[in-house]
Structure 1
Amino acid sequence: MKIDRITCRVVDFPLDREFHPAWARGRNQPNLLMVLIEVDTDDGLTGIGAAHAGLEAAVTIERFVAPYFIGQDPMHVESLVPVLRDTEILGAPVYCMETTLWDIVGKAAGLPVARLWGGYSDRVIAYCATAEVRSPAQRVEDVKRMLDEGYRAVKFRFHLPDPLEDLKVVEAVRAAVGCACGGSRNLSPATTTTGCAASATGWTRSRSPAARTTTACTSSSC
């Protein structure tokens, strides 16, 4: 099995209100950029992944990753990952392209990747991730709404100048809804790392009311 084509789409979703991410103080983020990637093989399998990134990720992989991936066996993940690690010095989240390789491995084996890695459960707790810095009262209101929507876990974002003020948010939420170790409604902390990157050659742009999409052409000779 060989990789014979890599396709990338950069999707730009406008947000309907101001968004001030906790990881970028003072910044209003007007949109959400996502890179969607498909890695096709000569056996007809396609690995799919995505990353919170823009054109810089696609261009970086086009120039520094795709030339090494085209023609390689996607099942040899361990031999391809060093290419991604070497490219990370450029700053773009190219490491996330590894997800597309594991997607192909799982499809070739006919098993979920989690099962290939030794996992035994086919269920995970869905959690709701917060993104903005909020006051204790606002966060309590947020968490109550999330629990009403069926979530059993919440991921908090903390970036206040004084860490003691961050702790007040946790204390307020626990007092209002309980915590994983007790309380009338269980609430457990959650953390995660997600994403994957994409590459392609050539770009065209299309627009729609819901999202602006930059689509890369497909190529067998990146």
Structure 2
Amino acid sequence: MQVLDRVELYHVAVPLPAPFAPSWIPGTIREKTTFTLVRFTTDDGVDGWSAFPAAGRERAGLGDPLASLFLGLDPTDLDLVSERIHIMAVGGSFNWWLEPAIWDINAKTAGLPLYEFLGGGADRLKLYASGGELKDPMARREEAEARFAEGFETMKVRVHDFDEAVDIEAITDVARHMDGRMKISVDCNQAFRLTQNGGAPLWSLDRAKRFADAAADAGLAWVEEPLWGEWHEAMAELTAYARVPIAGGELHLAGYAELERMVKLRSYAIYQPDAMWAGGVKQCLDVAKLCRAEGVRFTPHCWSTCYGFIVNAHVFAASGFAGEELYEYPLAPPGWVPEGRDGLFTEPMLHDRGWFAMPRKPGLGVEIDPDKLAHYGTCYFRASRREVHWMPEALARIG
């Protein structure tokens, strides 16, 4: 029987080509994409990879739990893998991002791309361009024109102002400017608050209703995360009220259990769980099945790392919704572009006139460039079923 035999952890910091100011973290300028990278290897030499955002040493203590909880496991026992992730959560840390690395192993062992291993057949995904920064009206018009020229038919913009009139004018202006040539959607980023570097508005249900009215009048395709993520009943009231689809669900750490309740409540019209946060590949596919049974929409969120994009692409390609919905394509030039986000890979994951071709190689289908890993990455933990190696000198070098 194949078992997980070794594990390695890296901190990776890849420079972006230009500074990037994410709208959901006010006051933050990113000049690098930084993440924790995990590599599991089986006793017969099959490896699986995944990654999750990390500024520096916040996951420095992850190695010992990984070694004690995962090494020796049968990688095909995904229920036990999920149970071990729950055990880690009891200690205060959700790590659903680890689970896709095990799926990478299983699909490689089967010699299939992950989405085919999961029973999916969608080898091309139609995309929407997902902008990540706040912009003044003229810059936002220019952004929409650029994405339209590149072949995208839908673009998502961001709003995050304390003054609701500013947010309403932002969506109204760009929709009026594009005049039906391109669909516009909007992410309000109200489901969570990342205020470590700057203040952020907290919308009430009344404000969300007024914004939804304006979005419907402007003809927007959907409104994403207009309320705090734990307000399930309030979101259901908003969804029932709104004349525009309400979307969300990306960071619900309890996974299927919480999302099932939200689907049954009709908290959203479109559910967007991210496998790296909201339960892993298996639970997100279970959510997709539930969405189908309940007659609501499904398409994953994927803003995080190079692995966040490709893991959720496989989920979407296997979900049964790929022929009906659009998949998110993060794109915020000049800073957040595929060449920067995917800078660890042998080649970036590019779109072709608003379409993404799923990789044909086994597993997740992406390859790490070993020279880039050596240059941008620091291995700080390595363990096998026989021995454990911490690298304190490596940890000291991580910012």
TM-score, normalised with respect to structure 2: 0.45
Report the Cα offset of residue 127 of structure 1. 3.8
Q: Distance in 2 between matches of 1:90 and 1:177?
A: 49
Residues 63 and 381 in structure 2, CA contact (< 8 A), matched pair in contact too: no
Judging changes above 3 Å, is the alpha-carbon distance between structure 1 residues 57 and 175 closer, same or farther for their aligned structure 2 residues? same
2:267 pairs with 1:158: no
The letter of the residue matching 1:38 is R
Q: Distance in 2 between matches of 1:87 and 1:149?
A: 43
TM-score, normalised with respect to structure 1: 0.76
Task: Provide, for residues 161-190 of structure 1, a one-character-per-residue CA deviation record: whole Å limited to 9, x for no partner.
Answer: 234432332222322335xxxx33456668
- Residue pairs, 1:1-150, within 5 angstroms: 1-56=2-57, 58-88=59-89, 94-150=95-151
Residues 22 and 158 in structure 1, CA contact (< 8 A), matched pair in contact too: yes
Residues 154 and 182 in structure 2, CA contact (< 8 A), matched pair in contact too: no
Residues 8 and 217 in structure 1, CA contact (< 8 A), matched pair in contact too: yes
Count of residues paired in the alignment: 207
Residues 11 and 35 in structure 1, CA contact (< 8 A), matched pair in contact too: yes
The letter of the residue matching 1:219 is A
- Percent identity, please: 25
2:181 pairs with 1:184: yes
Judging changes above 3 Å, is the alpha-carbon distance between structure 1 residues 170 and 57 closer, same or farther for their aligned structure 2 residues? same
Judging changes above 3 Å, is the alpha-carbon distance between structure 1 residues 85 and 141 closer, same or farther for their aligned structure 2 residues? farther
Judging changes above 3 Å, is the alpha-carbon distance between structure 1 residues 2 and 31 closer, same or farther for their aligned structure 2 residues? same
Residue 6 of structure 1 aligns to a residue in which SS?
Answer: strand
Report the Cα offset of residue 115 of structure 1. 2.9
Q: Distance in 2 between matches of 1:166 and 1:155?
A: 14
- Match in the other structure for 2:383: 219
Judging changes above 3 Å, is the alpha-carbon distance between structure 1 residues 90 and 53 closer, same or farther for their aligned structure 2 residues? farther
Residue 37 of structure 1 aligns to a residue in which SS?
Answer: strand
Residues 7 and 66 in structure 2, CA contact (< 8 A), matched pair in contact too: no
Report the Cα offset of residue 59 of structure 1. 2.4
Which structure has the higher relative contact order (CA within 8 Å, separation 6+)? Answer: 1
Q: Distance in 1 between matches of 2:140 and 2:300?
A: 17
The letter of the residue matching 1:161 is F
- Provide the aligned C-alpha RMSD in A: 3.1
- Match in the other structure for 1:200: none
**For structure 1, which runs of at least 5 residues remain unmatched after alignment?**
198-207
- Match in the other structure for 2:317: none
Q: Distance in 1 between matches of 2:150 and 2:77?
A: 41
Range that drifts further, 212-221 or 41-50? 212-221
Task: Provide, for residues 29-75 of structure 1, a one-character-per-residue CA deviation record: whole Å limited to 9, x for no partner.
Answer: 34321222221111221112222224445424313233110111111
Residue 126 of structure 1 aligns to a residue in which SS?
Answer: strand
Q: Distance in 2 between matches of 1:84 and 1:142?
A: 40
The letter of the residue matching 2:301 is T
Residue 101 of structure 1 aligns to a residue in which SS?
Answer: helix
Residues 127 and 154 in structure 1, CA contact (< 8 A), matched pair in contact too: yes
Report the Cα offset of residue 191 of structure 1. 5.9
